[in-house]
Amino acid sequence: MMVESRKCQVMVRRPYQRPDISANPDPEKIYPTEEKSFKRGEKRPPAVFGDVVKMLGQYSRHLKAVEGVSIPEMVMVNEMVSLYRWLGNQYLAGMRKDLLNEKEVERLLEEHYKK
The total number of residues shown for the chain amounts to: 115
The tens digit of pLDDT for each residue in 22-79 reads 988 888 998 888 776 666 667 777 888 877 887 887 777 777 776 666 667 778 888 8
Q: Compute how many other C-beta atoms are within 10 angstroms of the C-beta atom of residue 108.
A: 17
Calculate ∠ Cα 64-37-110, nearest 5°.
50
Least confident of 15-19, 41-45, 63-67, 81-85: 63-67
The residue range of the domain holding 98 is 1-115
Count structural domains, the chain.
1
Give the residue from 83, 61, 74 showing the smallest Cα distance to 7.
83
DSSP 20: B
Q: Please check whether residue 34 is in contact with residue 26, taking contact to mean a CB–CB distance below 8 angstroms.
A: yes
Q: What is the pLDDT of residue 38?
A: 63
